[in-house]
Structure 1
Amino acid sequence: MPSCFPPLSAVRWLLLVILLGCGFAAQAVSLPAAAVGAQQQKSASRESTPSEEDKKAGYAALAEILENDSARQQLVKQLRDAGSQKSESSTTPVIVPPEPEEKTVLQSLTELTRQYGGAFASQFVRLHNNIVSAPHKSFNKKTFFNALNHFLMLAAALFAIYWLMRWCVSPLFRRMGRWGRRNNHQRTNWLHLPVTILGAFFIDLALLAAALFIGQILSDNLNGGNRTIAYQQGLFLNAFALIEFFKTILRLIFCPHYPDLRFFHIRNPSAFYWNTRLSWLSGVIGYGLLVIVPIVTNQVNVQTGALVNVVIMGSITVWALWLIITNKRDVQLALLQLADRTLSFFAIFIRAFAVIWHWLAGAYFIALFFFSMFNPGNSLKFMMSATVQSLAIIGFGALLSGMLTRWIAKTIILSPDLRRNYPQLQQRVNSWIHVSLKAARILTVFAVMLLLLNAWHLFNLWEWLTVGGGEKLVDVIIRVAMILFFSAVGWTLLASLIESRLASDSHGRPMPSARTRTLLTLFRNALAVVISTITIMILLSEIGVNIAPLLAGAGALGLAVSFGSQTLVKDIITGIFIQFENGMNTGDLVTIGAITGTVERMSIRSVGVRQDTGAYHIIPWSSITTFANFVRGIGSFVANYDVDRSEESDRVNATLQAAVKALMENEEIRGMVIGEPNFAGLVGLTNQAFTVRVSFTTQPLKQWTVRFALDEQVKKHFDAAGIKPPHQTVEVMQTGTDVAGAAAALPPPA
């Protein structure tokens, strides 16, 4: 809870002001040392003289101290102690603000409610006294009507001149509207129409400034040398400037006479309806409170002026609430239709505003009614100023957010060379830029909300940014943005370099080896984890989180996890060594244990193998003790062929060589074979057959293709040469008889 006591320097200055105000007769009394010290400081340096703002702050601080019983008693005691000390004392008494007393949230809320409730009630009492017990003023009929005539002459002349000036530039507005709308339809440049609308708005402001200049000249010549008439005409000129400026804002929004300069899609009857009624509202309120009420108060009496103020504002408030209730549904439907046509980002805010717009508008006019009761002139200026500031802030924020939204929808196209060398760079750059623009759009909305609160004096933005929490928040946001920026740039550069090595040969570059692709992929994943972890830790440190316990906890947790995840650590270490030894890569045909298949995926913990049956196996690295890789350098196979024992071995070998020769004449098969086939001749002999052998060395994974083609050729040549395969014999044993007499060999086949 913030302290309710001022700083020490403010208390000292206040004591000086209070004691000096008691008169020079009290100079014989010893001043408190704090006051004396303040006087010496003032005489020593003129630069330390408090400003008006310091004085106001000091008065407010002293009032807060005096309102608190315990704080007041402590301050009185310190003043008495300071006054009772001898003047020759070497020690200077110091007045220390009392320690703030701890209050609960309920007590603070009660005090705040009592404070504002009392102020509100006192304003009603003041209004009642102005109406009932204010002193009467004599009414001079001749003076009043003389001033009224001069006033009406100025008003009529000024309105006529202003209307004539705006009528003269109306053709220019029509041409500007048609030009901006035509370029907007042709989509040549979307900025043409907003620039045209703003140009027309500034021309309208220039006309208003010219009319005010002419009005001031007329006022100097139509006041008859009467200070009262000049004062009343000055009131009118001030009210004219304020009200017509607000009407200029209304014409910027609705633009009833020049539809082409209308920024929003509003039908002409609706635009004319709302522009007319809001203009009447602003005119009646402005001229009523800024002109009629002051003139009646000065020329008639205070009571009549207060009653006129109540009548004007009461009537306007009732009329405004009736307009809001009558048009509640129509405005809501129009806002929802506008949300359907606009961008999705703005549609959210428009739909939310469509639900609560009547509550906000009603609260606006009710607040204006109460403010005008207490302080007619200043309240209206404040409300109009806050309204214009709010419209300007919302308009600028919508324009900036719209530009950011359009930029988000665009894509940056890099040169063909960069896209060829760094395939993922364009996508990654666009993704980072889109995220940055979305963050900037969110910050824009946040800034608009703060500016709106500051415009209505609900929040002191400058103090919050300079001495409050805003300074730290802005500093943290800038630091976080810089950290994220450098992390994104670092990751983009490193990842792009890795991906450039992983690019295929579709652009004429050599294809990297499978081992290189695997290692680079693992390195990229590890790099992503490291950069993300470091960035998160730095961000937590920047936003005020003490990461020392996190690091200590992470170390203890890592120690505990290491004991429970020995298998995982073993998987990682084994996988790293297998990769560095180039044991297998993605796409290799391997046999791991009883599983033979193609390597589809390799991670830091396991390898994924797909069998020819379609089954997918995930095998941890630690479970691999031995494995076979069929694509390391060469492939080979040994072909054995069994023939009947009665065949001649030379003829069989010659026929086999003829089959191999016919196979090698096939250019496609010959390109798969490395070197020449190796004939081993007769390599096996049994009672029914003998075996001949030939072996081949092939390209990796081509041994099966060559073997299948060889089998086809051997069958053709063996069949053509009449070489018979070995015959199988079956021996039947009968139980219960002599084996020698019962055994009979089957007759040989024909």
Structure 2
Amino acid sequence: MSFISPLWRTLTGIIFCCLLISSAQAVTLPQAAVAAQQSQTPADGAKSEPTPEEKKAAYAALANILENSDSRQALIEQLRQASTSKTPADEPVLTPPQSEQDEPTVLESVTSVTREYGGAVASQFVRLHNSIVNAPHKAFNKDTFLNALNHFAGLAAAVFAFYWLTRRLVWPLWQRMGRWGRNQNLERNKWLHLPVAILLAFMIDLLLLALTLFIGQIISENYHSGNRTIAYQQGLFLNAFALIEFFKALLRLIFCPRFPALRFFHLSDARAVYWHTRLSWLSGIIGYGLLVVVPIVSNQVNVQIAALLNVLIMGIMTSWALGLIFHNKRNIQQALSQLADRSLSFFALFIRAFSMVWHLLASAYFVALFLFSIFNPGDSLKFMMSATVRSLAIIGLAALISGMLTRWIGKTLTLSPELRRNYPELQKRVNDWVRALLKLARIVTVFATLLLLLNAWNLFDLWHWLTQGAGQKLVDVLIRIVMILLLSAVGWTLLASLIESRLASDSHGRPMPNARTRTLLTLFRNALAVVISTITIMILLSEVGVNIAPLLAGAGALGLAVSFGSQTLVKDIITGIFIQFENGMNTGDLVTIGAITGTVERMSIRSVGVRQDTGAYHIIPWSSITTFANFVRGIGSFVANYDVDRREDAEKANATLQAAVKELLENPDIRGMVIGEPSFAGLVGLTNQAFTVRVSFTTQPLKQWSVRFALDDKVKKHFDAAGIKAPHQTVEVMQTGSDVAAAASVPALPPPP
């Protein structure tokens, strides 16, 4: 510990030299300077020996600063600037660098969030208790209350009666709209008429609500006797009526109990009436209770009673709602599963997922409404209904857009006959890319719907995220990615269509490209696909923030290492390229490679696939081919040798052979396979038992075997007719010694016929 005290003095000396304290401005450093300043006595400013705690605090602060490279460099620069002060009057100003704080752990984050929200909830309960206990007591005036109640009841009765009457008069119109929409919906190409009819009916319902509010406002202005209390209560009623009846209009849009033809979902009449009735009563009691009854009681009777009434109403309604939810949990799950079975596959996924958690979401909705109504009874119901309406509108619009996109995905674009004739694969590729874009648009719609729903419930600030947050960069990157993929798709489609146009058959009157052209174009198309895919992937990686320079460098180094380790592969590729450019073989050619004779079925950049007549399939690397024979290049030929018994007449055998060839060439099918005239060589071989006559043919490629088989048939028939015999195999047995006598006793064989 002997070195600690000198070190501390050195550090404190540096700090106090830098801190030229004045009445106008003081220079500080974090914790270390604070500890040093605290060690200074306020009486005379003399320096005293710091305590061990102050030393530890100073060491820890300085260690935190020196540990981080940025803060350490900033401290060094500030100290150098402070050391360049020319006069004592120049007071250096040091800004303490911020040391990096350790990232909180997950447990610390969860604890912090729990403490924050738990404290907020507890403070809300404390405020609620103080508001109820400390609220001033108001005197109850019976006459004033009854007078206001009479005016309130008169306005409510008039408004409800007018609204019911106007809606009753419009019932025949809604029935006709429902029948029209259903009749039009029977035709598959008129699927949009029913949703339009449903939306028009909803708009008419809203117009009737607006008209009722207008009439109610006129009645309120002329039916409050100049009393501000009565006008206030009537205003509460009209506001609550507008909000609640708008929500009920949404319920009628969803369930439509009186007009099944305008019901968008497949629900039975009994289920529709069941849910519409209960949800209407639930929303009416909660809405009029919180927005009308509680404020009137608070204003006319007592704040404490109003608060207790608020809790009582919401407690009863929340319990009833939760009981209703869990009582119908299984039935709704089954109904949603049946709806998913009837829906498109895209919507079926979301409907089945919703069927598994709908009761949890609904329970959370009413529990949140209960809590909000206790803490903020004035705005809670408005916020919940506003968020609910916006959520329903978002989901409905998203479902409409997704449904249209899904129907478009199932359709097929049809190009003109000329384009289909010139570019056979263009229509298929265009439809594939259009379907891919529509599916991408559908995914974006789902993602946007989730963000809008979170924004509707104030769980996410969408506008800030899009304009100032990470959303702006994300949207920009997504647009760039889509444009890159679109350009790549367009380029690949055009180039591949041009290549396939050259590869098309002659079924439309165009000349058939030769085998070499087909092979080269196929290889070029495959290479083009690899190049475009590689470039596109590299550009996409650079767009998402991946540094592709190390990838390119690594690919180069990897390519160099692979080139040394795969010399045979490189040799295969180079040999294959030269064979293709020399037009050595093509798909469909009959070739002999080494000991293998067969038909070429596949040619890649590394190998060739040959199928033998036995069915065996051979993959032969290009580098292993030293020589090969191709039977399809130019012409075919064969030499036919026929052995005749030595005792036959040679001239007769030649003449018979020529007669057989002449008859063969009279067949037009065979004559079309033969090039030129056959060549007769006469007698070309002589043995003890036979002599040989020969004829040679030049034919079309791969036709030599057909001509040879037909020639053999004709020669046999002519030789048999002329009595010309083939040579017989003879065996000579040699006997020696004592077996000579036995051999002499063996009868001789008869001469051949």
Please indicate the TM-score interval, normalised by the length of the shorter structure.
0.7 to 0.9
Question: Displacement of 1:500 after TM fit?
Answer: 1.3
Q: Which residue of 2 aligns with 1:456?
A: 457
Question: Displacement of 1:488 after TM fit?
Answer: 0.9
Instruction: Give the 3-state SS of the residue equivalent to 2:226 in structure 1.
Output: coil
Q: For residues 514-533 of structure 1, what are the structure 2 equivalents within 5 Å?
A: 514-533=515-534
Question: Displacement of 1:266 after TM fit?
Answer: 0.8
Q: Which residue of 2 aligns with 1:604?
A: 605
Q: Which residue of 2 aligns with 1:550?
A: 551
Question: Displacement of 1:688 after TM fit?
Answer: 3.1
Question: Displacement of 1:257 after TM fit?
Answer: 0.8
Structure 1 pair 163–90 and aligned structure 2 pair: CA distance change class (3 A): farther
Deviation by residue 1:406-450 (Cα, 9 ceiling, x = unmatched): 111111122222222222112211111112211211111111111
Q: In the alignment, does 2:421 pair up with 1:413? A: no
Q: For residues 509-658 of structure 1, what are the structure 2 equivalents within 5 Å?
A: 509-658=510-659
C-alpha distance in structure 1 between counterparts of 2:724 and 2:363, whole Å? 109
Q: Which residue of 2 aligns with 1:478?
A: 479
Instruction: Give the 3-state SS of the residue equivalent to 1:625 in structure 2.
Output: coil
Structure 1 pair 640–490 and aligned structure 2 pair: CA distance change class (3 A): same
Q: For residues 699-718 of structure 1, what are the structure 2 equivalents within 5 Å?
A: 699-718=700-719
Is this contact kept in 2: 1:597–1:611, CA < 8 A?
Answer: yes
Question: Displacement of 1:267 after TM fit?
Answer: 0.7
Partner AA of 1:279 in structure 2: S
C-alpha distance in structure 2 between counterparts of 1:525 and 1:124, whole Å? 71
Partner AA of 2:152 in structure 1: F
Greater alpha carbon shift after TM alignment, 502-511 vs 473-482: 502-511
Q: In the alignment, does 2:471 pair up with 1:466? A: no
Instruction: Give the 3-state SS of the residue equivalent to 2:298 in structure 1.
Output: helix
C-alpha distance in structure 2 between counterparts of 1:738 and 1:277, whole Å? 126
Instruction: Give the 3-state SS of the residue equivalent to 2:198 in structure 1.
Output: helix
Q: For residues 712-731 of structure 1, what are the structure 2 equivalents within 5 Å?
A: 712-731=713-732
Greater alpha carbon shift after TM alignment, 226-235 vs 165-174: 226-235
Q: For residues 225-240 of structure 1, what are the structure 2 equivalents within 5 Å?
A: 225-240=226-241
Is this contact kept in 2: 1:324–1:361, CA < 8 A?
Answer: yes
Q: In the alignment, does 2:360 pair up with 1:383? A: no
C-alpha distance in structure 1 between counterparts of 2:722 and 2:114, whole Å? 117
Question: Displacement of 1:648 after TM fit?
Answer: 3.1
Q: Which residue of 1 aligns with 2:277?
A: 276
Is this contact kept in 2: 1:652–1:723, CA < 8 A?
Answer: yes
C-alpha distance in structure 1 between counterparts of 2:611 and 2:511, whole Å? 27
Is this contact kept in 2: 1:731–1:746, CA < 8 A?
Answer: no
Is this contact kept in 2: 1:393–1:448, CA < 8 A?
Answer: yes
Partner AA of 1:104 in structure 2: P
Partner AA of 1:722 in structure 2: G
Is this contact kept in 2: 1:255–1:271, CA < 8 A?
Answer: yes
Question: Displacement of 1:690 after TM fit?
Answer: 2.4
Q: Which residue of 2 aligns with 1:81?
A: none
Instruction: Give the 3-state SS of the residue equivalent to 1:690 in structure 2.
Output: strand
Greater alpha carbon shift after TM alignment, 404-413 vs 247-256: 404-413
Partner AA of 2:104 in structure 1: T
Q: Which residue of 2 aligns with 1:104?
A: 104
Question: Displacement of 1:602 after TM fit?
Answer: 1.1
Q: In the alignment, does 2:457 pair up with 1:438? A: no
Question: Displacement of 1:133 after TM fit?
Answer: 2.3
Report the TM-score, using the length of structure 2 for normalisation: 0.85
Q: Which residue of 2 aligns with 1:317?
A: 318
Deviation by residue 1:663-687 (Cα, 9 ceiling, x = unmatched): 1111111111111111112222333
Instruction: Give the 3-state SS of the residue equivalent to 2:609 in structure 1.
Output: strand
Instruction: Give the 3-state SS of the residue equivalent to 1:377 in structure 2.
Output: coil
Q: Which residue of 1 aligns with 2:331?
A: 330
C-alpha distance in structure 1 between counterparts of 2:294 and 2:736, whole Å? 139
Q: Which residue of 1 aligns with 2:304?
A: 303
Is this contact kept in 2: 1:590–1:597, CA < 8 A?
Answer: yes
Instruction: Give the 3-state SS of the residue equivalent to 2:186 in structure 1.
Output: helix
C-alpha distance in structure 2 between counterparts of 1:637 and 1:103, whole Å? 87
Structure 1 pair 334–747 and aligned structure 2 pair: CA distance change class (3 A): closer
C-alpha distance in structure 2 between counterparts of 1:408 and 1:157, whole Å? 52
Deviation by residue 1:331-369 (Cα, 9 ceiling, x = unmatched): 122111111111111111111211211111111111111
Question: Displacement of 1:98 after TM fit?
Answer: 7.1
Is this contact kept in 2: 1:672–1:698, CA < 8 A?
Answer: yes
C-alpha distance in structure 2 between counterparts of 1:568 and 1:354, whole Å? 57
Q: For residues 171-190 of structure 1, what are the structure 2 equivalents within 5 Å?
A: 171-190=172-191
Deviation by residue 1:248-302 (Cα, 9 ceiling, x = unmatched): 1111100111111100001111111111111111111111111111111111121
Q: Which residue of 2 aligns with 1:194?
A: 195
Question: Displacement of 1:102 after TM fit?
Answer: 4.0
Q: Which residue of 2 aligns with 1:118?
A: 119
Q: Which residue of 1 aligns with 2:404?
A: 403
Instruction: Give the 3-state SS of the residue equivalent to 1:376 in structure 2.
Output: coil
C-alpha distance in structure 2 between counterparts of 1:393 and 1:327, whole Å? 26
Q: For residues 209-220 of structure 1, what are the structure 2 equivalents within 5 Å?
A: 209-220=210-221
Is this contact kept in 2: 1:130–1:306, CA < 8 A?
Answer: no
Partner AA of 1:586 in structure 2: T
Q: In the alignment, does 2:166 pair up with 1:170? A: no
Partner AA of 1:622 in structure 2: S
C-alpha distance in structure 2 between counterparts of 1:143 and 1:94, whole Å? 72
Corresponding residue pairs, total = 666
Question: Displacement of 1:658 after TM fit?
Answer: 1.4
Is this contact kept in 2: 1:253–1:262, CA < 8 A?
Answer: yes
Partner AA of 1:115 in structure 2: E
State the superposition RMSD in angstroms: 2.5
Question: Displacement of 1:186 after TM fit?
Answer: 3.1
C-alpha distance in structure 2 between counterparts of 1:506 and 1:94, whole Å? 87
Is this contact kept in 2: 1:733–1:742, CA < 8 A?
Answer: no
Report the TM-score, using the length of structure 1 for normalisation: 0.85
Structure 1 pair 91–157 and aligned structure 2 pair: CA distance change class (3 A): farther
Question: Displacement of 1:141 after TM fit?
Answer: 1.8
Deviation by residue 1:483-535 (Cα, 9 ceiling, x = unmatched): 11111111111111111111112222222111111111111111111111111
Q: For residues 247-286 of structure 1, what are the structure 2 equivalents within 5 Å?
A: 247-286=248-287
Deviation by residue 1:675-723 (Cα, 9 ceiling, x = unmatched): 1111112222333332221111111111111111112222222222222
C-alpha distance in structure 1 between counterparts of 2:204 and 2:465, whole Å? 37
